[in-house]
């Protein structure tokens, strides 16, 4: 076997390796997410999806901020239900010197008083319910932050895994293409090949170098994104990603709609806001009802007996046209607006579910086409062109085109695999179900 023949056989063997079987049959083993591990990366050092998500949920600042807001909103509930603080007063009348009695003036005195305001029955309860609804809405915002971060981690992880795989494949392809170009150069120098074969090989090498540069930059961006979600420096190096198998989508679109209506954090948050607004309307209507105040006093008079007194006050809403009536109107309009916002969220969620469902379905179909048809057929085409090139029936450019086509199709497969998993990851926060493990 000549050197040229050996190199071609190695190239064909590499292109056929770790690829789906031909003839539309199910392969014995699907293409691995990581074609070639980076040097020095053991299995224990690889980036694991579940561990990365768990770490992000623990350390991400957005989640911690949302949790603190929930705790702050919960602290408002007992405040809203409590009575107003009582007012205690102390004073004197007589001498200009504080609290000095004037014995010659029988009307002078020293005294103390206390007053407490009692809202009309039902107002405190409604204020407490409003605060409780707001705390529940904040809790759903907290859940939304957790789901959003988990989804973003998975999206960044799958992009990083794809770029890692694409970079490894492309770098291996460059090595093989350099050898093929050397063969073309040797044939040209011996008068058995054309100069255009050498030039075409050099152009393809330059394009691969450009692709490698772009992939490396994109991988740095994906690395920075993962580190940001983990609250680390963007420059922190990451290990290669663990290979993941494509998950199944066991739900129909109708089932996904139903799950979203029940589990979407935005819908649940908006529902709590609508319930709060209903209580706010009821509280505004109660503003017509008067609040009461009760006060008691004690006076010590030097020229006569000690005096005791008690008073009851009632707030009278005489400016109801410009105050209470407008308060009810404001609360009613706020309720109507938030009800429209909730309805809009339901419609938007259905669209987002449909969008990600179609993206996932399309990527899944393309994965199957690449896995069971395009890649196997391209592999057979490359093998056939290698034999025909040996027999002098096809030129080097045909062999080179078949080689690069197969490599492109392999990258297409992994990109569709990544897009499929990303679509499922984006579905998760909408339907509240873990689709990618």
Residues 223-262: pLDDT tens digits?
A: 999 999 999 999 999 998 887 788 888 999 999 999 999 9
Cβ pair 221, 27 in contact under 8 A? no
In this prediction, residue 185 carries a pLDDT of 76
pTM score of the predicted model: 0.81
Report if residue 307 sits inside a domain.
no
Identify the pLDDT of residue 83: 93
Least confident segment among 92-101, 290-299, 340-349: 92-101
Domain presence at residue 38: yes
Residues 157-186 have pLDDT tens digits of 999 999 999 998 888 888 877 777 777 777
Nearest to 35 by CA among 19, 22, 21: 19
pLDDT tier for residue 120 given thresholds of 50, 70 and 90? very high
Work out the percent of the chain whose per-residue pLDDT is above 90. 58
**Structural domain contains residue 111:** no
Task: Report yes or no on 306 lying in a domain.
Answer: no
Q: Is 91 left (phi over 0), alpha (psi -120 to 50) or beta?
A: beta
With respect to residue 192, please indicate whether it lies within any of the assigned structural domains.
yes
Structure-model confidence comparison of residues 431 and 399, the more confident one: 431
**Which residue segment(s) compose the domain that 40 sits in?**
3-83+119-287+323-431
Instruction: Read off the CATH number of the domain in which 123 is found.
Output: 1.20.1600.10
* 333 within some domain: yes
Residue 394 domain-assigned? yes
352 in any annotated domain: yes
Least confident of 15-24, 135-144, 201-210: 15-24
User: How many structural domains comprise the chain?
Assistant: 1
pLDDT in tens, 363-416: 999 999 999 999 899 888 888 887 887 777 777 778 788 888 888 899 999 999
Nearest to 291 by CA among 318, 321, 313: 313
Question: How far, in Å, CA of 113 to CA of 95, rounded?
Answer: 20
């Amino acid at each position: 076997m000549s050197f040229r023949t050996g190199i071609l056989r190695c190239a064909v063997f590499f292109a056929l390796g770790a690829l789906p079987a031909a003839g539309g049959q199910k392969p014995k083993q699907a293409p691995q997410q990581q074609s070639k591990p980076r040097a020095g990366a053991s299995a224990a050092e690889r980036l694991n999806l579940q561990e990365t998500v768990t770490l992000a949920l623990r350390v991400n600042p957005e989640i911690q901020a949302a949790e603190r807001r929930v705790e702050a909103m919960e602290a408002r509930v007992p405040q809203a239900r409590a009575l107003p603080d009582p007012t205690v007063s102390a004073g004197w009348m007589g001498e200009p010197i504080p609290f000095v009695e004037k014995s010659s003036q029988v009307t002078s005195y020293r005294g103390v008083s206390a007053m407490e305001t009692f809202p009309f029955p039902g107002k405190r309860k409604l204020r407490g319910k409003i605060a409780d609804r707001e705390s529940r809405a904040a809790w759903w915002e907290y859940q939304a932050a957790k789901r959003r971060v988990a989804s973003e981690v998975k999206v960044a992880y799958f992009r990083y895994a794809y770029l890692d795989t694409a970079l490894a494949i492309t770098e291996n392809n460059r090595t093989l293409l350099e050898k093929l170009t050397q063969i073309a150069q040797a044939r040209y120098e011996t008068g058995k090949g054309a100069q255009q074969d050498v030039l075409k090989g050099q152009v393809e090498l330059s394009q691969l170098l450009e692709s490698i540069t772009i992939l490396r930059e994109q991988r740095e961006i994906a690395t920075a994104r993962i580190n940001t979600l983990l609250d680390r420096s963007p420059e922190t190096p990451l290990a290669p990603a663990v290979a993941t198998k494509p998950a199944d989508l066991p739900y129909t679109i109708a089932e996904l709609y139903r799950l979203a209506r029940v589990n979407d954090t935005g819908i649940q948050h908006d529902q709590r806001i609508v319930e709060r607004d209903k209580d706010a309307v009821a509280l505004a209507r109660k503003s017509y009802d008067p609040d009461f105040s009760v006060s008691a006093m004690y006076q010590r008079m030097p020229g006569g007996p000690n005096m005791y007194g008690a008073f009851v006050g009632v707030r009278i809403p005489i400016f109801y046209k410009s105050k209470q009536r407008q308060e009810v109107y404001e609360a009613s309009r706020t309720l109507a607006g938030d009800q429209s916002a909730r309805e809009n969220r339901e419609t938007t969620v259905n669209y987002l579910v449909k969008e990600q469902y179609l993206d996932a379905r399309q990527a899944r179909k393309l994965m199957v086409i690449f896995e069971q048809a395009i890649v196997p057929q391209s592999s057979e085409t490359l093998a056939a062109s290698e034999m025909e090139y040996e027999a002098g029936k096809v030129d080097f450019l045909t062999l080179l085109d078949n080689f690069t086509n197969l490599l492109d199709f392999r990258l297409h497969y992994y990109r569709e695999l990544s897009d499929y998993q990303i679509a499922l990851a984006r579905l998760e926060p909408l339907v509240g179900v873990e689709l990618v493990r």
